[in-house]
Amino acid sequence: MKNGACKDCEYLDLPAAEYICPLGFWSLKYVIERHSVKKIDISAADFALQSEPVKGRDKLQLFREILYAAASRMDKVQKDGSKRVYDELEDASQKNIVRVYNWDDWAKSIENYDPSLLVLLPHTQKGGDHNLPLMEIGDDSWLYDVYLNKVYVKKSDKAIPILILFGCQTFDWSIPFKNFATQFKQYGAAIVISTLTKILGRHAAPVTETLIKNLVDASKKGLSLGDAILQTRRNAFREGIPMALTIVADGDADWQLTGN
């Protein structure tokens, strides 16, 4: 499982219907690219560009500056979960990390620090007069999906940050073209790592920790983002967290990772 291959498996010759091998799942064997499309308003510009890796410009400096926020309620289901993620990020970035607790400070930090990695562990739900999707960080700081725009993603067109978005219902297919993961991608994130389904709050922190470790390892070895995500699924699944199978990356998996 760790390396995505069977070695001397005693069940290989038995009828497939009697056993389910986890390596039968593509998400544990292959790097899978996922691309979502959502029309955005470019009426104020002549054209729009989307960051994709090309020869000579295929590397992302991952840990130059990190911006991090989490919903306070996450610590109610996973003791010190948000702090554990912070500590992991602090080590990975050599303390080049800013943590915020509301959306105003998130947008200001995008402008002031131009971060290379965005990490969000929010709570999401529908609410308000029109029952629209909204996302919470900190303690009762909410952002409606209709107000999400470029200021919450990057400072300039040259910036190409990666976003980790793990939280309850961050990628909800019951809301066509209105999910946060796709919107963050459309407003300039190089790639958005999220989940396809609702997940348990207590799983968000440990899976994020596992992902960060694999991103650090990939940046040291010059591996791709897709390789890091694939290894995260394998490691988290081995640790008994089935939600690992739902981790997806919206965007090109060929980005090569570098550290600070």
Contacts of 14 (CB under 8 A, 6+ apart): none
User: What dotted CATH number matches 56-258?
Assistant: 3.40.50.1460
The pTM of the full predicted model, rounded to 2 decimals, is 0.82
Question: Tens-of-pLDDT digits for all 260 residues of the chain?
Answer: 566 556 666 655 666 556 666 666 767 777 776 665 555 544 444 444 455 554 545 688 889 999 999 999 888 877 888 999 999 999 999 999 999 999 999 999 999 999 999 999 998 888 877 788 889 999 999 999 889 999 999 998 778 899 999 876 565 555 543 578 888 988 989 889 988 777 777 888 899 999 999 999 999 988 888 899 999 988 888 888 887 888 888 887 788 888 76
Question: How many Å apart are CA 95 and CA 111, to the nearest integer?
Answer: 19
Contacts of 28 (CB under 8 A, 6+ apart): 1, 4, 22, 230, 233, 234, 237, 245
Which of 155, 166, 162 lies closest to 64, judged by CA? 162
Domain boundaries, the chain: 56-258
